């Protein structure tokens, strides 16, 4: 994290990417706290070694955890973060306000409502995704979707965790993923195995359903990291995929049985 106080904010794309390259992590956050009353409380830009102004969910959570732990902001409050997100009709990220809430020492981040992009030929797109990963198309569950909740990702569901574990990110596969990512203007591929997903219809105290997924992988060689250890924005898109394509179908089926 790089805090900006007495310098022009945000830094140029070149400076942010250079710092990100030197730091060597998937995401670097550039932060400026806003003291006066305005539309936002914290101004943030995220940079990767090969990209500036991207949206990043898990780095947002880490950033606000750091600010809270160092008493720069208070616990139990709501904050407004200004950062860049990819909007529906824009090829470049645009400024937006993201609400952040501290609840019982947990950081909660709201993401944009999902944008589901239409794919002209879903079967051919499935085949293209499978070919780029060098796996049989039969490994895929349903149709691969491109979803945007701040960052635009291809959400790829596989039937078995073993199907996902065998994927080895060779140079050729990374080149394939990069080519598809450029063609569809996406960050990369977010993959999860269907047989490692668990859920319960019992809602928690806030009326939310709990869904757990084990063994998720995220491939984004276009942005300088073949495989990311964690991603928040793509996880939000994955949750939307699961809700639309799995939970809604299960709920409808269970209701019909009753």
d(CA 250, CA 253): 5
Closest to 196 measured CA to CA, from 165, 161, 166:
161
On the 0-12 / 13-18 / 19+ scale of CB atoms within 10 A, 191 is buried
Q: Could you tell me where the beta strands, DSSP code E, fall in 129-209?
A: 145-148, 152-158, 189-193, 197-200
Closest to 237 measured CA to CA, from 116, 90, 132:
116
d(CA 232, CA 180): 21
Mean pLDDT of 238-252: 86
Residue 91: both structure tokens together: 């090829």
The tens digit of pLDDT for each residue in 18-34 reads 998 898 888 899 998 77
d(CA 87, CA 45): 16
Cα 137 to Cα 102, 196, 253: the distances in Å are 42, 19, 26
pLDDT classification of 5: cutoffs 50, 70, 90: low
Mean pLDDT of 162-171: 95
Mean pLDDT of 121-132: 97
> What does the pLDDT read at residue 248?
85
d(CA 30, CA 45): 5
d(CA 20, CA 247): 38
CB atoms within 10 A of CB 134: 13
The tens digit of pLDDT for each residue in 171-206 reads 999 999 999 999 999 999 999 999 999 887 777 766
Whether the Cβ atoms of residue 96 and residue 105 lie closer than 8 Å to each other: no
Name the range with the highest mean pLDDT among 127-131, 212-216, 244-248: 127-131
Mean pLDDT of 240-253: 83
Average pLDDT value over all residues in the chain: 87
d(CA 78, CA 61): 13
Whether the Cβ atoms of residue 148 and residue 110 lie closer than 8 Å to each other: no
Provide DSSP, 198-253. Answer: EEES---TTS--EEEE-S-EEEEGGGTEEEES--SHHHHHHHHHHIIIIIHHHHHH
Looking at the chain, the whole-number percentage of residues with pLDDT higher than 70 is 91
In which element (H, E) is residue 176 found?
Answer: helix 171-184
The tens digit of pLDDT for each residue in 66-118 reads 888 888 887 778 899 999 887 776 667 888 899 998 877 788 888 888 999 99
């Amino acid at each position: 994290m790089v805090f900006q106080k007495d310098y022009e904010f945000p830094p140029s794309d070149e400076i942010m990417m250079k710092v990100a390259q030197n730091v060597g992590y998937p995401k670097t956050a550039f932060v400026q706290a806003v003291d006066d009353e305005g539309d936002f409380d914290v101004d943030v830009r995220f940079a990767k070694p090969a990209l500036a102004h991207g949206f990043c969910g898990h780095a947002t959570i880490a950033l606000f955890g750091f600010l809270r732990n160092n008493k720069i902001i208070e616990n139990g409050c709501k904050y407004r973060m200004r950062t860049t997100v990819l909007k529906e009709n824009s090829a470049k990220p645009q400024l937006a306000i993201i609400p952040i809430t501290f609840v019982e020492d947990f950081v909660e981040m709201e993401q944009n409502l999902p944008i589901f992009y239409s794919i002209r030929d879903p079967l051919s797109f499935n085949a293209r995704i499978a070919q780029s990963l060098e796996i049989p198309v039969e490994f895929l569950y349903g149709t691969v979707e491109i979803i945007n909740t701040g960052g635009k990702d291809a959400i790829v569901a596989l039937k078995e965790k073993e199907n996902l574990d065998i994927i080895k990110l060779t140079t050729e596969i990374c080149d394939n993923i990069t080519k598809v990512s450029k063609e569809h203007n996406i960050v990369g591929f977010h993959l999860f195995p269907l047989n490692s997903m668990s859920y319960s219809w019992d809602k928690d105290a806030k009326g939310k359903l709990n869904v757990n997924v084990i063994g998720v992988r995220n491939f984004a060689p276009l942005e300088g990291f073949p495989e990311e250890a964690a991603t928040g924005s793509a996880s939000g898109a994955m949750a939307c995929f699961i809700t639309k394509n799995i939970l809604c179908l299960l709920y409808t089926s269970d209701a019909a049985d009753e």
